[in-house]
Structure 1
Amino acid sequence: MVRIIVAQRKVKRKSKSVLAGLVFSVARVHRKMKSSQFFKCKRLSQCAAVYKTAVIEYLTCELLELAGQNALFHKRKTITPKNIMQTILIDEDLKKVFSNVVIPQGGVLSRIQPELITKSKIKSTANSSYPATPKSTVDNRKKTDRQQMHHIVLSERTFEQGRKLCVIKGDITEMEVDAIVHPTSRHYHTNGMIGSIIMSKGGTSLQQTLTHLRNLGPLISLEAKCSEAPGLKAKNIIHVNVPTFSKSNQPASDLEKTALNCIRVAETEKLKRIALPSIGSGNAGYPKQLAAHTVLSCIRGHLKDVNSSIEVIYFVLYDAESLKIYEDELKNLQ
């Protein structure tokens, strides 16, 4: 009698990460959660570990994607800790999540006093034997302002009398315009995202300008005032006191008045090109969709009815969510 031995095929076990469709280790996160002092209960389900792993993986992918765009924006081939730090500081949502996180080798944002920057000497070309620059070359330079400012125009629409509304991805403080809008508070605080960046570039001169504005009195809610912009590429800064979002009041109406006050101040100063951030969606707490729809609609309506001096309004944003919302709202604008 011959005994036949059939070799049983070993079934390869699948890890919890594979079963959940994740890359990060679910088992490791589960062990860390059980040994952590923040979880008082001794029994933790696998679902909690899977959910937390998925959130960590999503945040990591989002952060790396934005950091890669930041590195590309600064013409770097690799992502450095400084790119990650800059991404966190610019993106409002990531800044809230990583507010108490220190990134090793991330460095700090440079803050050079304007007095230390040496001004390049421009040689006189009055007696030069070189021919003058042709007009066509000058026109081409105007057309390539986007490349010079390293900003990417994602959407653009032209309305009556050639007025334009543009959605741009980039740094608003690098815009060479007549004025940029700075959402602030009653006492011209600069603790917001835009305020911290303009202070790092404006330095002592801008601090003196803000001190002078504070001495003139507080900035009333919804009010906008114009000042000089020392140390910035823009000629002026329009400071506006954005109201805090509240469901009990009329948030859309307040935000509409705020945006219109910015436009009216620009018209009073005879400005032609202004740049706005996502007004209201920062520290004011407005939902991004509501803020974008309200601001774009009221500005469109105002420029349609009024003989305004404004020619171009740039909406300069950085995070992907705001850019997508503003692109869609501008596309659907009547």
Structure 2
Amino acid sequence: MSGRSGKKKMSKLSRSSRAGVIFPVGRMMRYLKKGTYKYRIGVGAPVYMAAVIEYLAAEILELAGNAARDNKKGRIAPRHILLAVANDEELNQVPVYVSVRENKQKDNEKEGASNSTSEDGPGDGFTILSSKSLVPGQKSSGLAAKFVIHCHIPQWGSDKCEEQLEETIKNCLTAAEDKKLKSVAFPPFPSGRNCFPKQTAAQVTLRAISTHFDGTSSSSLKNIYFLLFDSESIGIYVQEMAKLDTK
């Protein structure tokens, strides 16, 4: 047996493996050194930074998974991440200046949309606005509305769902009054998983608005818009508003 056999090659372990974290420690070190050449950065700083970011990512993913499960979704969407951060008291204070994109669009699509808006001008009484879920402190970039009112819409068929929907609309109007808004826009409530019949939703919505203005002597609201996307909904609202005029 020859005693001159070479040493066994040892597989080189990364700094992340030696530290017991998943996030790349070497990359964190490069980020810390970038633009901070006059500072001394210890070897433990990127390890601690990677461990903290890994913990935050795991915590947010767990809460986002719970939000997706509650919404009966099998995949985590950016909306679930926003809900997870917004519903947690501690996490809600961390990403104040962080914006989570809803979807990715090409630049040419954005330019085409902006050009068509400028050329077409205002529509025939209604305009379709882009939607974005916001958390407190997040800047509403690219959103036409100045304020977004978050509310809970009851499930159709649940106990007192019509009364709850009417109360929700009244609360939205009250919140708009508190902000001294001159206009407010309501989306079509039958959309999504709530499955309210269009006729019933229109009746409840108009009844709630009528009750709100009957109970107040002065209001800052001058216009109320309805975001309707099909001819059937438009016909229903026109019919129900005509019934209000006859009363």
TM-score normalised to the size of structure 1?
Answer: 0.36
**Greater relative CO (CA pairs within 8 A, separation 6+):** 1
Higher relative strand content = 1
Calculate the TM-score normalised by the size of structure 2.
0.48
